[in-house]
């Protein structure tokens, strides 16, 4: 999955917090709808600037919310982040991009040059395995990714670090990961 920085993703603990976020998004020009099922048959709903909101208490709603987010919809989910469903929701949405916890505004900006914070978890896992000496094929298999997906994630990481080779990307990743923050 590729990061989609434009769609808001919020996980809040109460309906009042969700109302606050929904009002703010409405003011910013987003179209807000309750529930997580998408009515639009087209795959990419990003141009519609659609935000879906509601309570997530089971895996069915979790799957609907993650699918909607993958298709470009914004998400405002009311869910306890300490439950297994809440942790799964945050983990799955994090693979798509930044997730806001609570009704607060934008996330705290990352340190300048802190590319590690911008990597999706799959990229970090692959880079960790490459740093440990695995080949891309072995790292992909260990992370249950296809070789094509692994190569694409590594190419995205190379572009993010501004380097040409995978070796340079691994070295840049290790340098930035060790930098005290």
Tokens encoding 58: 């089971």
pLDDT tens across 1-30, in order?
444 446 888 999 888 888 989 998 899 889
Mean pLDDT of 90-110: 69
pLDDT tens across 112-161, in order?
455 677 788 889 999 999 999 999 999 999 999 999 999 999 998 888 88
Q: Return the ∠ at Cα 124 (arms to 8 and 170), rounded to 5°.
A: 130
pLDDT tens across 25-71, in order?
899 889 999 999 887 677 788 888 889 999 998 989 999 999 998 88
Mean pLDDT of 90-111: 68
List the strands of the sheet with 74-78, edge to edge.
31-34, 50-55, 74-78, 9-12, 100-101
Better-predicted residue by pLDDT, 149 or 94: 149
Pairing of strands 100-101, 74-78: unpaired
CB 89 within 8 A of CB 56: yes
The partner residues of 10 in beta bridges, in order of sequence, read: 76, 100
pLDDT of residue 179: 59
pLDDT of residue 130: 94
pLDDT of residue 106: 42
Mean pLDDT of 85-96: 84
CB 131 within 8 A of CB 174: yes
CA distance 110 to 97: 14
Mean pLDDT of 81-90: 87
pTM: 0.58
Residue 109 pLDDT class (50, 70, 90 cuts)? very low
Q: How does 51-75 read in b/e, with b if 16+ C-beta sit within 10 Å?
A: bbbbebeeeebbebbbebbbbbbbb
């Amino acid at each position: 999955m590729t990061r989609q920085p434009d769609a808001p993703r919020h996980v809040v603990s109460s309906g009042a917090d969700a109302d606050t976020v929904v009002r703010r998004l409405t003011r910013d020009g987003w179209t807000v709808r309750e529930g997580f099922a998408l009515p639009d048959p087209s795959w990419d709903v990003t141009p519609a600037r659609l935000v879906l909101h509601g309570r997530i208490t089971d895996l069915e709603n979790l799957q609907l919310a993650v699918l909607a987010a993958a298709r470009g919809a914004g998400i405002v989910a009311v869910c306890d982040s300490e439950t297994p469903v809440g942790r799964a929701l945050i983990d799955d949405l994090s693979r798509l991009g930044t997730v806001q916890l609570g009704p607060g505004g934008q996330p705290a900006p990352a340190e300048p040059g802190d590319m590690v914070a911008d990597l999706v978890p799959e990229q970090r896992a692959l880079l960790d395995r490459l740093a440990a000496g695995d080949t891309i094929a072995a790292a992909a298999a260990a992370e249950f990714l296809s070789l094509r997906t692994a190569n694409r994630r590594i190419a995205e990481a190379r572009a993010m670090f501004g380097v040409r080779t995978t070796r340079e990307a691994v070295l840049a990743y290790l340098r930035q990961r060790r930098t005290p923050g």
